[in-house]
Amino acid sequence: MCYEIVTMWVRGAAIRPVPPYAVVSREILERVEEELADGGLGAKSELDDAFERFERTQPALAQRAADILARPLDETALALGYFLTIAVWLAFERAFGGRLAEVSEDERNAAEAALELEEQLRASNAREPLELEDVMAIEQPGVLAFVNEHVDAALEPDEADTRDVDVDDVHVVYRNILVQTLALSHAVASTSGTRPREMLA
C-alpha cells in the first residue's frame, strides 16, 4: 500500500496518468520537425494554413494559443510558441489520426487546473524530488524532451545572437504547451474507441 502511494505521488497526484496508447513517440516529433524545417511546412503560408486547420479541428486549444501569441511577447518567445503549438498538435494528429478527438474548453481548463494543482502540491512538500515538468516528462517523455530542447535552445542563443530573451515570456509559452500536451493526451481514444474518464479524478 505504501509503495502504491509513493508511486502515485512520483507520477502525479493531480495529473491523471496518460494511457500508453496516447503516448507520442519521439520519432513522430522528429519527422514533424523535419517537415517544419525543410520546406514541407517551412514557408510562412504553409504554417498559416496549418494553424488554420488547427483552429478548425481544435478550436478551444487554438483560441487559447492565439490569445497568448497575441500578447506583446518577446520575439524569441513568440516564434517558439508558434512553432511548438503547431509541432505538438501535428505530432498528435500524425500519431493518432481519427482517434484524436476535439478538446472542449472545459477539458482544456481541466488540464490547466490539474497542472496548477500538481504544481501547488509539489511546492508544498519540501521533500518531493520531482517538479511539475518531471511529472509531465514521465507521462509524455518524447513530447517533453522535444519541447525542452527547443526551450533550452531559445534561452541559450549562439554567440552571434546578442538579443536578451525574456524568460517570463518563454515561461508563459511553455506553460501553455504543457496544458495543450496534457489536454491532447486525454483526447486520444483507445483502439477500441473509448476515451479516458474526466480529466480530474
Instruction: Confirm whether 62 is domain-assigned.
Output: yes
Instruction: Confirm whether 85 is domain-assigned.
Output: yes
User: What tens digit of pLDDT does each residue of 12-23 get?
Assistant: 578 989 999 999
Instruction: Confirm whether 69 is domain-assigned.
Output: yes
Instruction: Confirm whether 135 is domain-assigned.
Output: yes
DSSP per-residue codes, 40-87: SS-SHHHHHHHHHHHHHH-HHHHHHHHHHHTS---HHHHHHHHHHHHH
User: What tens digit of pLDDT does each residue of 179-198 get?
Assistant: 999 999 999 999 876 766 54
Instruction: Confirm whether 144 is domain-assigned.
Output: yes
| Domains: count for the chain | 1
**Beta carbons of 111 and 199 less than 8 angstroms apart:** yes
> Residue 99: which domain range?
24-185
Instruction: Confirm whether 14 is domain-assigned.
Output: no
| 10-24, 49-63, 99-113, 121-135: least confidently modelled range | 121-135
Query: Residue 161 has what pLDDT?
Result: 60
| Residue 158 in this model has a pLDDT that exceeds 80 | no
pTM value is 0.86
Confidence of residue 121 (pLDDT cuts 50, 70, 90): confident
Query: Residue 163 has what pLDDT?
Result: 67
More confident: 164 or 83: 83
| Residue 31 in this model has a pLDDT that exceeds 50 | yes
Sign of CA dihedral 71, 64, 110, 126: negative
Query: Residue 159 has what pLDDT?
Result: 58
